[in-house]
A and B are shown apart, each in its own frame.
Chain A
Amino acid sequence: MKPIIELNNLKFKYDDDSDKYALNDISFSINEGEWVAIIGHNGSGKSTLAKTINGLILPDSGSLKVCGLDMTEENVWEIRKKVGMVFQNPDNQFVGSTVEDDVAFALENQGVPRDEMLTRVENALEKVRMTEFKTKEPARLSGGQKQRVAIAGVVALSPDVIILDEATSMLDPKGRFEVISAIKEIKSEKDLTVISITHDIDEAAHADRIFVIKQGELIDEGDADDIFSAGEELVNMGLDVPFPEKLKKELSRLEVSVPDEYLSEEGMVDWLCKLNLNK
């Protein structure tokens, strides 16, 4: 597999005088078509990392390569065409006065001709199931709907990478579910690379790989099974314990012997069924 994003010894600090690094010597690479989750405590530097990948922040030292391009002042706009970003607050990233205007905003910036824009906006709205809200103003939409519009805005641009910067953290459970399933669908259709920065375990559970960041440093890396079997340690990493893990803990309190490895929800159901048969 081809790496699409490569970070080498990346360092960055907001305040030149302090010696606290927001990103301290981070190196990793992300392959094409991968879904990667970056998790960590508040203030661990994960949002900074997201902004660095999009060129909103230039690192102090180290190198960064996105889609084969080095992150430099000249390349930054080229990279932004290939990396779409959905931010945390659904209200504050809505630029257009109506849904369709907002989806078209990035296309307008690229100088896409109007006829092409019309079809691309239409298709993008179709993908996130917001076609019927096309002419609505943001004030009339729910948080989840606004985030889906933001995703449509990214999809219309047909990027190679989508970064979700805590895109579901301000949503209710329903909105969260809708946004995640929209992303999943688009990813499987277009073979996108998704980087999600999150507190939400369900979102992290969808990832192929999970990076754990603490105080600007990469402290752990692995797939969902590796990371989630850490149990109580997860809380220290800035994540909640997944529901199957909670259930396992409660069961072990009742002196049922539970397996050590992480079980997904389906895995848990299977295990529970077998347990019943064995009795």
Chain B
Amino acid sequence: MLEKLIFGRYIPGQSVIHNLDPRAKLLASFYFIGLIFLCNNWQSYLLAFAFTLVVIKLSGISLKFFIRGVKPLIWLILFTVILQVLFTKGGTTYFEWGVISITQFGLMNGAYIFCRFVLIIFMSTLLTLTTAPLALSDAIEYLLRPLKVIKFPAHEVSLMLSIALRFVPTLMDETEKIMNAQRARGVDFSEGNLAQRMKAIVPLLIPLFVSSFNRAEDLAVAMEARGYQGGEGRTKYRKLQWRMKDNMVIIAFALLTIGLVFLRY
């Protein structure tokens, strides 16, 4: 089950990208998504692709993982691309039938949207593949800290996040165990029509809910027994360190921005 899930998985490693500050990676990923919308011609897409491929190469993770990351979203991508191709007007028309037409602009837009999707998925996959979930939640806590001014519970949100992340593999194991236990008692999870399948999920979901609540209770008691009283007066074991290579990320992205702006105008 874990094997299928590429999105949101972490592959430990020691590459340059792995060792970057998670804050740098998180901000860069978001910035990149915004940046993609600057692209409006094939040269700029080429540049963006080249940049992404270089970064992927630096991460030392094989391209296969990234392509597998695109797979679960392929239907969404195709749906959007086809809509773009069929309903955009302009340029030379190659085919027309009622409201549907395939035009030069339509094809171009379709290709651009496809590139946009792939780039965004590659970049966000790269973020999760090279950043430990915990580091990511540390980064989020740090970046949310200014929001304390408006009484936003940054510490609580980050604790929630890191506990949620810590329990993902535990709950996955549990799901698998319950599924097997129910299969052993005759529940069939993979057959029948939609309604039957939905019904088959009930003997999986209810025990899972119950056990999650039990776990939550146990964990809360254990946390309290270990002196947890909320974020006040707490020190942090993990420390984020901004180093020279994190400055390099800023420089790289600045150059990319300049390049894309130049190609656009």
Q: Could you tell me the distance between the alpha carbons of A182 and B43 in the complex, rounded to whole angstroms?
A: 64
Q: Could you tell me the distance between the alpha carbons of A84 and B173 in the complex, rounded to whole angstroms?
A: 29
Does B219 lie within 8 Å of A95, measured CB to CB?
yes
Which of A31-39, A103-111, A230-238 is the interface stretch?
A103-111
Interface range on chain B: under 10, 10 to 19, 20 to 34, or 35 or more? Answer: 20 to 34
Interface range on chain A: under 10, 10 to 19, 20 to 34, or 35 or more? Answer: 35 or more
Does B165 lie within 8 Å of A97, measured CB to CB?
yes
The chain B residue with its CB closest to the CB of A118 is B237
Q: Could you tell me the distance between the alpha carbons of A268 and B233 in the complex, rounded to whole angstroms?
A: 55
Within 8 A of B (CB), among A73-118: 77, 80-81, 84-85, 87, 89, 91-98, 100-101, 104-114, 117-118
| Contact code string A134-171 (vs B, CB < 8 Å = 1, else 0) | 00011100000000000001000100000000000000
B222 within 8 A of A: yes
Complex partner residue of B219 from A93, A107, A118, A157, CB under 8 angstroms: A93
B176 within 8 A of A: no
Does A93 lie within 8 Å of B234, measured CB to CB?
no
B68 within 8 A of A: no
Does B235 lie within 8 Å of A77, measured CB to CB?
no
Q: Could you tell me the distance between the alpha carbons of A7 and B168 in the complex, rounded to whole angstroms?
A: 41
Within 8 A of A (CB), among B226-264: 226-229, 233-239
The chain A residue with its CB closest to the CB of B133 is A97
B175 within 8 A of A: no
- Return chain B residues, CB-CB under 8 Å to A91: 170, 215
A239 within 8 A of B: no
Q: Which secondary structure dominates chain B's binding surface?
A: helix
Does B234 lie within 8 Å of A108, measured CB to CB?
yes
Does B237 lie within 8 Å of A104, measured CB to CB?
yes
With A94-B166, A117-B237, A139-B170 known as contacts, the answer to whether A109 contacts B226 (CB < 8 A) is yes
With A77-B229, A91-B215 known as contacts, the answer to whether A137 contacts B169 (CB < 8 A) is yes
B194 within 8 A of A: no
- Return chain B residues, CB-CB under 8 Å to A137: 166, 169
B163 within 8 A of A: yes
Complex partner residue of A97 from B162, B225, B227, CB under 8 angstroms: B162
With A111-B233, A117-B237 known as contacts, the answer to whether A98 contacts B219 (CB < 8 A) is no
Can you name 17 A-B residue pairings with CB atoms under 8 Å?
A85-B225, A87-B218, A87-B225, A97-B132, A97-B133, A97-B166, A98-B134, A101-B134, A105-B223, A108-B234, A110-B227, A112-B235, A114-B236, A117-B235, A118-B237, A138-B166, A138-B169
**B interface, CB within 8 angstroms of A:** 132-134, 162-163, 165-166, 169-170, 173, 214-215, 218-219, 221-229, 233-239
